């Protein structure tokens, strides 16, 4: 790709400094909020600044595009920006998946005194056995761990207590009551519907585009509804909370961050839907929608990983 | 866009709003560089406090608690506030001029990336004045020191790191988009100056690992405030998990710091050798190889933590492999100088010192990579000496060289060569007096990060402190020389500035106009 001599370099802009201020206030506010007796006021002020800036920022970018300022080369910069942003999100999830694998495969059996110190030889060494005997006697490695090492040693006095039930596959007889399966179906369907919407837009079939994008947004909201149901179930009936040892930790952090990304993706798609209703996009100029749909596919792929490693293979 | 940038003559209001609202890559580059120098002075002041306390055994000036905050803040400020922004500043100034682009690909985001930093570091340093003091757990913030035993202010540190990471990711995406999308016609990838190559690979590393750092501090946040047990074995987690996550970020991070330095030196040495860079393509492949290896060697920072023996062996051998591409680079720099018409202006002096001292730091790195021997070296002053040879004589020396080299192009005025050379020799000698003895201290068993030490370490510590004050003094001279150049330097309008300089940035008028390459140049 080469410079074509018409690259649009925007003049001075007030947006970034307000965005930086919003982020600074949010960060400071969040840090003081989590302290004991902290208040959420500063954080909320920061969030409001940020929301206003983002609204304004994207309005301006959309307006520039409608006025024809965005050359094909500039649009390609936006494409690259979005793709590399998604890559950074992939690495964020990789971090939490990595933590899950490390804990499941290595730490769990080390604490239980099962594994050897070497990978070439899996007979327990004296060191591993002694480790288990002295540090966490009575803890047996298992996944999902229903009791924590703390509980194995200290019983009811333990600070960390395992869950009463876990979220793993409940058996074929109860499979239709297993929420994660429904969640998977909903999200995969939504990836298909957003693709149908994309094809419709390329064919200039606006009505079909609006309909299928609307369905995608509805499916996104439905997924979030099911996810909230699952959390309520976990907290109220299954004794499964953030504090239920490493299982609760990894379960809620992975599904929670995924849920936050679904929320973001749903908002993105909703905005594109509203733009579609207002008549934005043409069959060959639809970056806002495409970016949101890439993000949606990414969120979908992450869920498939979650479904496999958090729910099924347990 | 037709009007020029506001100057002080237009009044303070317009002048300040120029810098705050700017979308110009040169303005933003300047902001980055000045911010980084301010942080360098602050981090340097922390280092001076550390060295003053360690001048003699026993507690002299400050309390141990404050000493811990100083070692932590020195590391954080220097890595994230001084060195990284310095190279982002150079990238902003130079990449568009080197590839013939009108500006960075996403100019408004570019401004946002910069202006997050003052907020992030205001939040971070404000903790020093809060109840409980600032972060005191070392710049590597290992759990449980940084979780169970941390002061309450750790939450400010966590969110400060979060927005700083957002700044880095946005800055890197911008650099990648610029290099991939904004090159002038004919500027193929394998014609790009090496500085551009090293930066685009660095940007890739940043986009890959800054989110992992965000993950690490998020896990800390949850463990501290919300009862999770990532780093607590009682709940089934593992404090060693923290070290794995941190170093998966941390090892690529050290290449994020050094790769742009490689790029700078690869621009400067050919100029003053009056020869093209030897082995250009092997330099590119070596940079890529180093970047790849940086992802698969992280646990060599953790040899003493209790890993399976297979892990120790793998990480030892993988780490040693890095010496191969790095050796390629060092030999290429030397071969570039071989039979060249060398002159020794200040940028060249710093670059040659870079090659020598960086290689020295690389060799101590080889010593540390031997897992069995590392049991003795781990967490001693030997490690401190090793990474200061690559961070200071590596990154900071090359940054200084870059400022002297491109400053005449930026502002159209020459710096004072004598003062530059005096600064170089004070810095070079001061640096070696500071850090060479720390190898001996470390091998003799002095642990790092302690506020006090046994009497047997007294002599070399005193020597080290004297060198540190010398090195600190050289930086004041540097600041003075830069300000003097910008204000009162001898004007020059020679586009090339240096006789042997090659590259698109030297085809532009001197000083470089506010907007360059509005129409792209043709590259043959």
pLDDT at position B171 is: 97
Closest CA relative to residue A213, chosen from A287, A277, A278: A277
The nearest CA of chain B is from the CA of A210 a distance in Å of 30
Q: Which of B178, B287, B326, B465 is catalytic?
A: B326
CA distance B397 to B346: 11
Phi, psi (rounded to 5 degrees) for B380: -110, 180
Model pLDDT for residues B315-348, shown as the tens digit of each residue: 999 999 999 999 999 999 999 999 999 999 999 9
Picking from A16, A98, A243, the nearest residue to B227 by CB comes out as A243
Segment B184-205 shows an average pLDDT of: 97
Quote the mean pLDDT of chain B: 96
Residue B253 a catalytic site member: yes
**Closest residue, chain A, to B517 (C-alpha):** A5
Dihedral of CA A211/A255/A85/A98: which sign? negative
Q: Do B233 and A149 touch (CB under 8 A)?
A: yes
B286 in A contact zone (CB under 8 Å)? no
Residue B298 is given by DSSP the state G
| B386 vs B5, residue with greater confidence | B386
Tell whether B215 is within 8 A of chain A (Cβ): yes
With 80 as the cut, is the pLDDT of residue A1 above it?
no
What's the Cα-to-Cα distance from B365 to each of A145, A169, A243, rounded to whole Å?
41, 49, 41
B180 to A158: CB separation less than 8 angstroms, yes or no: no
| pLDDT on residue A126 | 66
What's residue B197's pLDDT? 98
Rounded to a whole number, what is the distance in Å from the CA of B200 to chain A's nearest CA? 13
**Could you tell me what percent of chain B has a pLDDT over 90?**
96
> How sure is the predictor about B111, in pLDDT bands with cuts at 50, 70 and 90?
very high
Supply the DSSP string of A223-278, one letter for each residue: HHHHHHHHHHHHHHHS---TTSHHHHHHHHHHHHHHHHHHHHHHHHHHHHHHHHHT
Distances (CA, A) of A197 to A192, A193, B87, B149, B477: 9, 6, 44, 53, 63
- The reported pTM is 0.95
Confidence of residue B349 (pLDDT cuts 50, 70, 90): very high
Cβ under 8 Å to B: A residues 107-136: 107-108, 110-111, 116-120, 135-136
- Prediction ipTM score: 0.95
pLDDT digits (tens, 9 = 90+) for B94-105: 999 999 999 999
Active-site residue, B74 included: yes
CB-neighbour burial class of residue A180 (10 A; exposed 0-12, middle 13-18, buried 19+) = buried
Q: In the predicted model, what is the mean pLDDT of residues B480-494?
A: 96
Q: What is the tally of helices (H) and strands (E) in chain A?
A: 10, 0
Residue in B72, B113, B168, B294 annotated catalytic: B168
Query: Quick check: B156 and A160 CB within 8 A?
Result: no
Segment 86-125 of chain B within 8 Å of chain A by CB: 100-103, 105-109, 111-112, 115-116, 118-120, 122-123
Cis peptide before B448 (omega within 30 of 0): no
Token pair recorded at residue A235:
């907290």
DSSP state of B491: E
**Structural contact between residues B415 and B485, judged by C-beta atoms closer than 8 angstroms:** yes
CA geometry: angle B326, B332, B338, nearest 5 deg: 145
Q: φ, ψ for residue B55 (rounded to 5)?
A: -60, -40
pLDDT category of residue B3 using cuts at 50, 70 and 90: low
Contact B177 A84 (CB under 8 A): yes
Asked if the model's pLDDT at residue A3 lies above 70, the reply is: no
Active-site entry in B51, B275, B301, B386? B301
Listed by number, the residues of chain B in 326-345 with a beta carbon closer than 8 Å to a beta carbon of chain A are: none
Residues of B in contact with A30 (CB under 8 A): 155, 159
Indicate if the pLDDT at residue B462 is higher than 80. Answer: yes
As a whole number of angstroms, the distance between CA B457 and CA B118 comes to 39
Q: What is the pLDDT of residue A128?
A: 66
Instruction: Tell me what the mean pLDDT of segment A226-242 comes to.
Output: 96
Per DSSP, what are the bridge partners of residue B413?
Answer: B491
How many angstroms separate the CA atoms of B178 and B200, rounded? 9
Higher pLDDT among residues A283 and B220, named by residue: B220
Cα(B31)–Cα(B21) distance, rounded to whole angstroms? 12
Query: Which of B152, B182, B228 lies closest to A35 in CB terms?
Result: B152
CB contact under 8 A, A96 and B518: no
Among A5, A9, A242, the residue to mutate for chain B (most B Cβ within 10 A) = A9
Among residues A189, A73, A92, A254, the alpha carbon closest in space to that of B228 is found at A254
Residues of chain B contacting residue A76, judged by C-beta atoms under 8 Å apart: 181
Quick: pLDDT tens for B16-51.
999 999 999 999 999 999 999 999 999 999 999 999
Q: What is the mean pLDDT of residues B304-318?
A: 92
Name which of B1, B103, B173 is nearest A81 (Cβ-Cβ): B173
Give the A:B interface size as CB pairs under 8 Å. 252
User: Hey, are the CB atoms on B23 and A117 less than 8 Å from each other?
Assistant: no
Res B2: pLDDT? 45
Predicted local distance difference test score (pLDDT) of residue A4: 47
Nearest CA in chain A to B4: A11
How far lies A189's CA from each of A192, A210, B156, in Å?
A: 5, 17, 41
In sequence order, which residues have a C-beta less than 8 Å from that of residue B12 and are 6 or more positions away? Answer: none
- B400-420 residue pLDDT tens: 999 999 999 999 999 999 999
List of domains in chain A: 9-69 (1.10.287.70)
Asked whether the beta carbons of residue B181 and residue A15 sit closer than 8 angstroms, the reply is: no
Crossing angle (nearest 10°) for helices B239-273 and B194-225: 160
Average pLDDT for chain A: 91
Record: contact A91-B209, CB cut-off 8 A: yes
Q: Taking 50 as the threshold, does the pLDDT of residue A2 lie above it?
A: no
Joined together, the tokens standing for residue A196 give 């149908």
What are the φ and ψ backbone dihedral angles of B447, each rounded to 5 degrees? -75, 150
A97: contact with B, CB 8 A cutoff = no
Question: What are the tens digits of pLDDT across the range A105-149?
Answer: 889 888 887 755 455 555 566 666 676 777 888 888 888 999 999
How far is Cα B363 from Cα B390, in angstroms, rounded to an integer? 10
Return the CATH number of B27-507, one of 2.40.30.10, 1.20.210.10, 1.10.150.20, 1.10.10.10.
Answer: 1.20.210.10
Is A24 in Cβ contact with B245 (below 8 Å)? no
* Residue B432 C-alpha, separation from nearest chain A C-alpha, in angstroms: 39
Q: Is the pLDDT of residue A10 over 90?
A: no
SS3 A268: helix
- Residue pLDDT, tens place only, A174-225: 888 899 999 999 999 999 999 999 999 999 999 999 999 999 999 999 999 9
What are the phi and psi torsion angles at B491 (to 5°)? -65, 145
The kind and range of the H/E element at B88 are helix B84-99
Helix, strand, coil percent content, chain B, rounded in steps of 5:
70, 0, 25
In which band, very low, low, confident or very high, does the pLDDT at A293 lie, cut at 50, 70 and 90?
very high
Residues of chain A with C-beta less than 8 angstroms from the C-beta of B225: 34
Distance (Å, whole) CA B156 – CA B126: 9
| Residue B264 near residue B272 (C-beta atoms within 8 A) | no
Q: Which residues of B touch A21 (CB under 8 A)?
A: 119
Q: Work out the average pLDDT over B441-462.
A: 97
Q: What pLDDT is stored for residue A113 in this prediction? A: 77
Query: Among A279-288, B82-91, B281-290, which is the least confidently predicted range?
Result: A279-288
For A145, the closest of B159, B236, B241 (CB atoms) is B236
- Chain A hits for B166, Cβ within 8 Å: 23
Q: With H, G, I as helix, E, B as strand and everything else as coil, classify residue A137.
A: coil
Interface of A with B in 222-241 (CB under 8 A): 241
- A245, B235: Cβ pair inside 8 Å? yes
Q: What percent of chain A has pLDDT over 90?
A: 75
What whole-number percentage of chain A has pLDDT above 70? 93
Q: How far apart are CA A220 and CA A223, in angstroms?
A: 5
Peptide bond into A144 cis (omega under 30): yes
| Range with lowest mean pLDDT among A124-133, A212-221, B174-183, B287-296 | A124-133
Task: Tell me the C-alpha distance between A170 and A172, whole Å.
Answer: 7
Phi first, then psi: give them for residue B281, nearest 5 degrees.
Answer: -65, -35
Q: Give the pLDDT mean for A62-87.
A: 94
Out of B183, B275, B300, B388, the active site residue is B300
- Contact list, A36 vs chain B (CB under 8 Å): 152
Provide the pLDDT for residue A37: 87
- DSSP conformation letters of A195-230: HHHHHHHHTT-HHHHHHHHHHHHHHHHHHHHHHHHH
- Which residues share a beta bridge with A285? A282
The reported pLDDT for the residue numbered A140 is 87
CA distance B390 to chain A (A): 27
Cβ <8 Å between A80 and B108: no
Alpha-carbon gap: B190 to the closest alpha carbon of chain A (Å): 14
Residue B246: its H or E element: helix B239-273
Give the three-state DSSP class for B307: coil
State how far the Cα of B47 lies from the Cα of B465, in Å rounded to an integer.
10
Q: Are strands B413-414 and B490-491 parallel, antiparallel or unpaired?
A: antiparallel
Q: Flag if A249 and B17 touch (Cβ within 8 Å).
A: no
* B491 strand-pairing partners: B413
Angle at B27 between CA B24 and CA B29, to 5 degrees: 105
pLDDT of B107 over the 70 cut? yes
Distance from CA of B198 to the nearest CA of A (A): 18
CB contact under 8 A, B166 and A23: yes
Contact flag B101-A20 (C-beta cutoff 8 Å): no
């Amino acid at each position: 790709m080469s410079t074509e001599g018409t690259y649009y370099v925007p003049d001075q802009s007030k947006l970034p400094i307000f965005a930086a201020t919003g982020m600074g206030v949010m960060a400071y506010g969040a840090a003081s909020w989590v302290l004991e007796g902290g208040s959420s006021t500063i954080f909320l002020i920061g969030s409001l600044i940020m929301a206003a800036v983002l609204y304004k920022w994207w309005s301006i970018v959309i307006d520039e595009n409608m006025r024809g300022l965005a050359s094909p080369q500039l649009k390609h910069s936006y494409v690259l920006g979005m793709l590399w942003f998604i890559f950074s999100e992939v690495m964020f999830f990789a971090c939490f998946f990595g933590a899950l694998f490390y804990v499941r495969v290595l730490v769990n059996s080390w604490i239980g005194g099962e594994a050897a110190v070497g990978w070439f030889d899996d007979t327990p060494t004296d060191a591993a056995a002694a480790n288990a005997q002295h540090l966490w006697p009575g803890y047996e490695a298992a996944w999902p761990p229903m009791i924590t090492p703390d509980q194995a040693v200290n019983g009811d006095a333990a600070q960390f207590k395992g869950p009463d039930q876990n979220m793993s596959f409940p058996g074929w007889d109860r499979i239709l009551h297993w929420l994660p399966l429904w969640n998977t179906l909903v999200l995969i369907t939504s990836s298909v519907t957003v693709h149908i919407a994309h094809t419709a837009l390329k064919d200039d079939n606006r009505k079909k585009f609006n309909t299928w994008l609307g369905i995608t947004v509805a499916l996104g909201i439905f997924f979030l509804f099911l996810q909230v149901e699952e959390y309520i179930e976990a907290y109220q009936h299954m004794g499964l909370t953030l504090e239920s040892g490493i299982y609760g930790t990894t379960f809620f952090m992975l599904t929670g961050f995924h849920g936050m990304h679904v929320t973001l993706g749903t908002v993105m798609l909703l905005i594109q839907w509203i733009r579609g209703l207002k008549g934005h996009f043409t069959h060959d100029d639809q970056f806002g929608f495409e970016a949101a749909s890439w993000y949606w596919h990414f969120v979908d792929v992450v869920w498939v990983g979650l479904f496999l490693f958090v729910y099924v293979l347990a | 866009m037709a009007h020029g940038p506001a100057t002080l003559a237009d009044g303070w209001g317009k002048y300040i709003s120029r810098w705050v609202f700017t979308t110009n890559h040169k303005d933003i580059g300047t902001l980055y560089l000045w911010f980084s120098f301010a942080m360098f002075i602050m981090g340097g002041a922390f280092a001076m406090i550390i060295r003053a306390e360690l001048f003699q055994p026993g507690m002299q000036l400050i309390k141990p608690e404050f000493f811990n905050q100083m070692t932590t803040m020195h590391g954080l400020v220097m890595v994230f506030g001084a060195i990284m922004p310095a190279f982002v500043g150079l990238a902003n100034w130079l990449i568009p001029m080197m590839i013939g682009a009108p500006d960075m690909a996403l100019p408004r985001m570019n401004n946002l990336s910069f202006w997050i930093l003052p907020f992030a570091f205001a939040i971070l340093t404000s903790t020093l004045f809060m109840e409980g003091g600032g972060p005191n757990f070392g710049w590597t913030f290992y759990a449980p020191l940084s979780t169970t035993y941390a002061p309450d202010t750790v939450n400010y540190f966590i969110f400060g790191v979060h927005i700083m990471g957002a700044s880095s990711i946005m800055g890197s995406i911008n650099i990648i988009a610029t290099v991939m999308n904004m090159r002038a016609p004919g500027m193929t990838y394998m014609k790009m100056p090496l500085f551009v190559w090293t930066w685009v690979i660095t940007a890739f590393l940043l986009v890959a690992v800054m989110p992992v750092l965000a993950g690490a501090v998020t896990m800390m946040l949850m463990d501290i405030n919300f009862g999770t047990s990532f780093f607590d074995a009682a709940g089934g987690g593992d404090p060693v998990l923290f070290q794995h996550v941190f170093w998966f970020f941390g090892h690529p991070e050290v290449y994020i710091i050094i790769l742009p330095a490689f790029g700078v030196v690869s621009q400067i040495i050919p100029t003053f050798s009056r020869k093209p860079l030897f082995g250009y393509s092997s330099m590119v492949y070596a940079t890529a190889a180093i970047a790849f290896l940086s992802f698969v060697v992280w646990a060599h920072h953790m040899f003493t933590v209790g890993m399976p023996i297979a892990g120790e062996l793998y990480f030892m051998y993988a780490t040693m492999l890095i010496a191969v591409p790095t050796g390629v680079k060092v030999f290429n720099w030397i071969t570039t100088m071989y039979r060249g018409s060398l002159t020794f202006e200040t940028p060249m002096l710093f670059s040659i010192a870079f090659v020598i001292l960086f290689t020295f730091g690389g060799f101590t790195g080889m010593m540390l990579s031997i897992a069995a021997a590392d049991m003795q070296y781990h967490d001693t002053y030997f490690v401190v000496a090793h990474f200061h040879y690559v961070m200071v004589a590596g990154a900071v020396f090359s940054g200084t060289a870059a400022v002297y080299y491109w400053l005449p192009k930026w502002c159209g005025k020459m710096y004072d060569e004598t003062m530059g050379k005096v600064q170089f020799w004070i810095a070079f000698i001061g640096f070696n007096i500071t850090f060479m003895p720390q190898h001996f201290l470390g091998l003799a068993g002095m642990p790092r990060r302690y506020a006090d030490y046994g009497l047997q370490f007294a002599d070399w510590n005193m020597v080290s402190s004297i060198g540190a004050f010398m090195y600190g003094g050289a930086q004041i001279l540097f600041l003075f020389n830069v300000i003097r150049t910008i204000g009162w330097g001898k004007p020059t309008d020679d586009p090339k500035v240096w006789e042997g300089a090659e590259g698109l940035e030297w085809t532009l008028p001197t000083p470089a106009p506010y907007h360059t390459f509005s129409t792209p140049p043709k590259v043959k």
